Amino acid sequence: FGLSNKFDTEFPSVLTGKVAPEEFKTSINRVNACLRKNLPVNVKWLLCGCLCCCCTLGCSLWPVVCLNKRTRRSIQKLLEWENNRLYHKLGLHWKLSKRKCETSNMMEYVILIEFLPKYPIFRPD
């Protein structure tokens, strides 16, 4: 379903001077812990759904779709919590986004880190 089983903890060079490498690694480890908790259950349901797919006319795959959606929502909530806790104060915004794979036509989910525009606080309304 395009959701990675873990995200890379390597510190991107574009974030140098914006956020501490330890904070970045802590945030990514939280996301990876959420994936580690949820994905084994999803895989078991997927295997069960694939085995029973012919008998149930595809309805046995619905639990996998729902579990995948729940995992995505929990990651999005975690990223929002991280944004509110730290990254919005630093002028960054993390979000889960769907994009096309570089090697194939399949879609995958990635974590995008966007730079928020700075608002001039001394300009009158």
Domain ranges of the chain: 21-115
Q: What is the pLDDT of residues 32-84, one digit of tens each?
A: 998 888 776 666 666 676 666 667 666 766 677 777 888 889 999 999 999 99
Percent of the chain with pLDDT over 70: 76
User: What pTM, to 2 d.p., does this model score?
Assistant: 0.79
Alpha-carbon distance of 30 to 79, in angstroms, equals 9
Alpha-carbon distance of 15 to 23, in angstroms, equals 11
Q: What is the pLDDT of residues 70-110, one digit of tens each?
A: 888 999 999 999 999 999 999 999 999 888 877 777 888 88
